[in-house]
Amino acid sequence: MRYRQTLPLGERHLVGRLESFGDIVVGFSMSQLALQLEIPKTPQEVFGHPLKYFVFFSAFALVGIFWLRFHRIMAIGFAPRPVDIGLLFGLLSFIALVPYSLVTYFRLIGPAGYSRESVALYLGDFLGVAVFSLILSIRGLRRAWSVLDESDRPGAWRPVIAGFVVIPVFLVALVAVLAAGPFAFGLLVLIGPLVRFAVQLVPRPWPFILGPQRTDALGTLEPEGVS
């Protein structure tokens, strides 16, 4: 929150309102996930398609992770610039699309099995969330890096390096689904171990991620928003 205190009062108020709006969008999306699970018509249907439970719990967990990332974005270095507001609404729109992609996935289950197109929509939705959140995280990191304590910097960097891992995994899973079928969903289990490995391998941001850091007359790093 230290960076937010450098913003003018009106901008701080707007950031708070955007944060509350995002909480509503994410909360609504998470509640809608459970409503997309249709009531079984026969006892055999309860566990007739076990993969749908894996998809549901995976979706709920991922939306929860994206909610945490959303708050990390807002807390670290978000500024209500037109580009950032547009990116934020793009992020929230993909999160709001999760229930639709989930119900599409379930509705297109037929005798031939799971529809590759619906699975591609499902993975593409999460890919969109990951792309927007990565861009926002990078922009926020560049703004706030100079005002973050050394102890806070690893926590600000982790979501960014995680984005560099998550996006390629989703892309590979998407291609694998189209080529081999829905069971390529299993590739998503690689995300956790790969993120932990990446954080250990690259503990600090690359210089090109931080970009040029402005300084004041005394040579001290000065974040955007400080006058």
* Predicted confidence (pLDDT) per residue in 3-14, tens digit: 888 888 999 999
β-bridge partners, 221 = 215
Per residue in 140-185, pLDDT (tens digit) is: 999 888 888 888 888 889 889 989 998 998 888 888 877 776 666 6
Structure tokens at 167: 């996006």
* Distance, CA of 10 to CA of 104 (rounded, Å): 41
User: Which residues, 6+ apart, have CB-to-CB distance to 205 below 8 Å?
Assistant: 141, 145, 157, 160
Q: What percent of the chain has pLDDT over 70?
A: 82
pLDDT for the residue numbered 59: 77
Structure tokens at 166: 């998550």
Given a contact cutoff of 8 angstroms between Cβ atoms, the answer to whether 95 and 68 are in contact is no
Q: What is the pTM of this model?
A: 0.80
Intervals of the chain under pLDDT 70: 1, 36-38, 40, 44-51, 109-114, 181-185, 213-227
pLDDT for the residue numbered 214: 53
User: Which residues, 6+ apart, have CB-to-CB distance to 38 below 8 Å?
Assistant: 106
Structure tokens at 222: 């000065």
Given a contact cutoff of 8 angstroms between Cβ atoms, the answer to whether 122 and 105 are in contact is yes
* Distance, CA of 183 to CA of 151 (rounded, Å): 41
